[in-house]
Amino acid sequence: MTIASSDSAGSRRELVLAEGREHAVLVARQAAARAALAPTERDVITALSPLTAVGFTVLPVSSGGSADLVVVGPSGVFIVDTNSWADLAIENRRILRHGVDVTADLDALADLAFAAEAALAEIGLAPGEIHPLVVLAGAHGIRARIGVVELVGEQEAIAYILGHGTRLTPEQVDAVLTASLDFFERSDDDHLAQGDRAPEQSTIDELDTIPLLSNAEVSYQLQTGLAASRIEPWMSFLTPEQARLARRSFDGPSRIRGAAGTGKTVTALHRAAHLARTQPGIVLVTSYVSTLPAVLASQLERMAPEIRHRVEFMGTHAFAKRLLSDRGIRCNLQPAIADAEFEVAWRTVGRPGLLGTLSEKYGYWDDEIEKVIKGRGIETFDQYASLSRVGRSRALSSQERAAVWELYLAYQKRMEARGAHDQADLIRLAERSLRDEPLTRYAAVIADEAQDLSAEMVRMLHHLVGDAPDGLTLVGDAQQSIYPGGYRLEELGISVAGRSVSLSRNVGTAPQITRYAEQLVADDVVDDMEGGHLVPEPAEPSVAPGVPPLVVRFSNRAAHDAELPRRVREIVSSGSARLGDIGVVAPSTFAVRSAMAALQKANIPIVELSRFDGRPVDAVKVGTVSRAKGLHFEQVLLVQVPTALIPDPATVQEPVVDPTRRSLRAAEAAPRGRRGAARAAAANAATRPAARAAREESILLARELYAAATRARSGLWIGTIP
């Protein structure tokens, strides 16, 4: 296209917008006259009327004086109170008229918007798409935010509304408009119709004197708004279940759970945004994996930039490290030294003693110290001797526990001699500091993938907000826990009784993929943090399109890696996904490096998940399962999986979903069918300690594969090697 033709197209567009604006102003004047509105309302209706040329509806409403108009369109819902306040001053987030504080006058508008959020959540509209707005008639150059209410001058109103960009599809706008009409009381004659309705023949002369922006100014604002980048669908529209939960208030700590694919992380992010809008103080969003908070921060920047500064995103270890640094508490974190000193302690104390005669691997005892003793804040042997070792299948005798404690003391002594700390020490120091000296800047803490957090981590986060209403929200799925050990919330003094909610509907994963992934953990029994041994119920299947997973078995790693570039190109060429919507997920760091090398050799752009910050990039994402948690991709390539761990998709059975109970079910329920009975018999046979330890390891591997497989929305390719 030449420059001349581009200018011509732009001129035609401006002409169309100008004609639409003139038509909309005519309709606005007629509707305002019929509604017998106050002059300020008529002024603002006329000022906003150009919006009707680009898909908005502007309607006068009857709301008991708290609002005059509602504007519904691609940029969301705007509940508008018109005003002509004179001698207005805004100081320290307060409104002064003639020197008198009138900030409380906005409360009714805020309450109306809050009620509208609840009503429109029933169709899935995210709470952040509803904006209480005061438009000051005849004013310009005013922009302020008081609580949840925005104040703008009349001439900035269009720019403010369009500045939110295109957030709703035409179909969603229609649904929201219908729901808004049901919510707001109004008469049939009190609304300003869409701009494509035929105008009346009469006009109101007195409105001709209202100063309007020029056609060029309005056209510029409309074009700028229409050109704003679109957001992802989930950023504005959720399922009703998610939308209700995002804004639900709890009178203490709460928990959001649900199977993979039920939208827990999305709901948590919307909840963070909602709390940031409605609560004083900072909202902390955290996770065990350090990269997930960075991705969520980028997503919130696109979803709700106006409150991004009110939400802090940080991994739990990074938070603890910053806290200790700010308080001048020494912590010499040395992971390499920790590994070396544990190896020496094992060689000199563990292996020559009782533990060396047992069949458990070296790493089992490392996990016992890190996840059980240190992870749960155990300080004395008496505590450890009587501890219920949640999440550990292999029982330990009193003599074996004494041997573990001896190994722990030897390791700690060596670390102290080196003046070094490990990751668990970091969390413990931060927890102790917060216990002694609370930090009061946080209004709420949301912990995503909470099943991966240690007891000490959750205790540390709880210290930030205590049992305050809407203070602590734990989000996660016990079946996606990929680390050994566990705990009960009651041992931390935390109760979520009556405040634990399960999302019951899969919202994004194709049912063929979900069924396959569920078979990977079909015989899993989880130790839930709320107590008890539980079997997760399958979620209600989604209606998302997809195909059955494809399992390709390779004889060696070289053949496997050679296939990766071909598979990626096939996905892109078929239109199944763009490069940026493909995730390559691997069970180990070695497999990640191998996959990256294969793709780079084929000149396929990649970004490692450890460096991914959530901003859209047209490159294949590559990373370990832990790095992929909380993320979803249109197509997933699960690479270098041991062949023995992966069933053939043809053997996958249809899950049985109990429509009356979609939450967690007691594990004591009888296993279903002959396959379930065989599994139960095998589990009963595995009573020897070594067998139980091996079973624990296999269950964690299965959960890891389950978590990886459910990162896929519509396509899953699994490459296996011997």
List, for residues 361-376, the tens digit of each pLDDT value: 889 999 999 999 999 9
pTM of the model: 0.85
What secondary structure letter does DSSP report for 604? -
291-303 and 264-278 are packed helices; what angle lies between their axes, rounded to 10 degrees?
A: 60
The annotated binding site is made up of 258-265
Residues in the chain: 722
Q: Is the pLDDT of residue 654 over 80?
A: no
b/e map 305-336, b = 16+ CB within 10 Å:
eebbebbbbbbbbebbbebbeeeeeebebbee
Q: Is the pLDDT of residue 104 over 90?
A: no
**pLDDT value of position 222:** 57
More confident residue, 413 or 139: 413
Least confident of 202-216, 231-245, 335-349: 202-216
**pLDDT value of position 202:** 27
Adjacency order of strands within the sheet including 143-146? 57-60, 69-73, 76-83, 130-136, 149-153, 143-146
Residue of 365, 332, 331 whose CA lies nearest to 346: 365
pLDDT bin (cut points 50, 70, 90) of residue 651 is: low
Pairing between β-strand 442-448 and β-strand 582-586 as defined by DSSP bridges: unpaired
Q: Is the pLDDT of residue 669 over 70?
A: no
Using a 10 angstrom Cβ sphere, with 0-12 exposed, 13-18 middle and 19 or more buried, the burial of residue 495 is: middle
Instruction: Tell me the β-bridge partners of 476.
Output: 257
pLDDT bin (cut points 50, 70, 90) of residue 574 is: very high
pLDDT bin (cut points 50, 70, 90) of residue 590 is: very high
CA atoms within 13 A on the CB side of 187: 6
Mean pLDDT of 169-183: 93
Pairing between β-strand 76-83 and β-strand 130-136 as defined by DSSP bridges: parallel
Instruction: Tell me the β-bridge partners of 540.
Output: 505
Q: Is the pLDDT of residue 546 over 80?
A: yes
Q: What is the DSSP annotation of 47-66?
A: HHGGGGGGT-EEEE-BSTTS
pLDDT bin (cut points 50, 70, 90) of residue 22 is: low
Mean pLDDT of 262-268: 97
b/e map 677-692, b = 16+ CB within 10 Å:
eeeeeebeeeeebebb
Residue with tokens 């208030």: 249
Q: Is the pLDDT of residue 623 over 60?
A: yes
Residue 299 parent element (H or E)? helix 291-303
What secondary structure letter does DSSP report for 229? P
Instruction: Tell me the β-bridge partners of 442.
Output: 282
CB 342 within 8 A of CB 424: no
Non-local (6+) Cβ contacts of 711 within 8 A are: 583, 585, 628, 629, 631, 632, 633, 636
The annotated binding site for ATP is made up of 258-265
Token pair, residue 104, equals: 């409380």
Non-local (6+) Cβ contacts of 155 within 8 A are: 47, 139, 140, 213
More confident residue, 90 or 271: 271
**pLDDT value of position 63:** 61
More confident residue, 330 or 107: 330
**pLDDT value of position 40:** 78
Q: Tell me the C-alpha distance between 153 and 160, whole Å.
A: 10
Q: Is the pLDDT of residue 192 over 90?
A: no
395 CB neighbour count, 10 Å cutoff: 11
Using CA of residue 132, residue 137, residue 138, residue 139, what is the dihedral sign?
A: negative
Mean pLDDT of the chain: 85
- Angle 238-240-241 from CA coordinates, rounded to 5°: 100
Mean pLDDT of 183-192: 52
What secondary structure letter does DSSP report for 260? T
Least confident of 59-68, 116-125, 401-410: 59-68
107-121 and 170-183 are packed helices; what angle lies between their axes, rounded to 10 degrees?
A: 120
pLDDT tens digit string along 213-228?
Answer: 555 555 565 556 555 5
Adjacency order of strands within the sheet including 665-666? 526-527, 533-535, 665-666
**pLDDT value of position 203:** 28
pLDDT bin (cut points 50, 70, 90) of residue 37 is: low
Q: Is the pLDDT of residue 29 over 80?
A: no
